Amino acid sequence: MDTKTYCSDDLVAIQNKLTENQWLITCLCAAWCDTCQSYRNSFDDLQALHQDKCFAWIDIEDHANLVDDLDIENFPTILIEYQHKVLFLGTMLPDAGLVHRLVKSFEDSIQINGVDAIHSSIQNPLPAEWSLRRILENI
């Protein structure tokens, strides 16, 4: 493993990567979900396209303490944060290309208009000021 890639389900590696950049791209999944398991390699391959971003693969049962406040009903659920702002939280087809395009769209919008101009797309309500990034930084 080179210095730019890391195991996306290793919480220590994720915490270290978060100190280097402002993005957190997370797949919230479950070990028993066959769709998630078949999607895993494609999701991890996105690191090569977005080496300046932190990728996390979070099993919601193994790491329930991280996502207790969320109502995850379907898999895979993608969470995209910039700094501590949730930009996207929702179920997506298991297509890494979709995540790539969504991230690029947010990236372009932030460069043009700034993060405050982005309206978050959140499938289920979040607690006020909730941020997985903040939770990961403080464990």
pLDDT digits (tens, 9 = 90+) for 25-51: 999 999 999 999 999 999 999 988 999
Rounded to a whole number, what is the distance in angstroms from the first to the last CA of the chain?
A: 25
Are the C-beta atoms of residues 86 and 51 closer than 8 Å to each other? Answer: no
Tell me the domains of the chain and their CATH numbers: 11-137 (3.40.30.10)
**pLDDT tens, position by position, 47-82:** 889 999 999 999 999 999 999 888 888 999 999 999
Are the C-beta atoms of residues 88 and 124 closer than 8 Å to each other? Answer: no
> CB within 8 A of 41, min separation 6: which ones?
none
> Taking the model in full, what pTM does it have?
0.92
Give the whole-angstrom CA distance, residue 16 versus residue 25.
Answer: 14
Give the whole-angstrom CA distance, residue 113 versus residue 90.
Answer: 23
Which amino acid would we find at residue 137? E
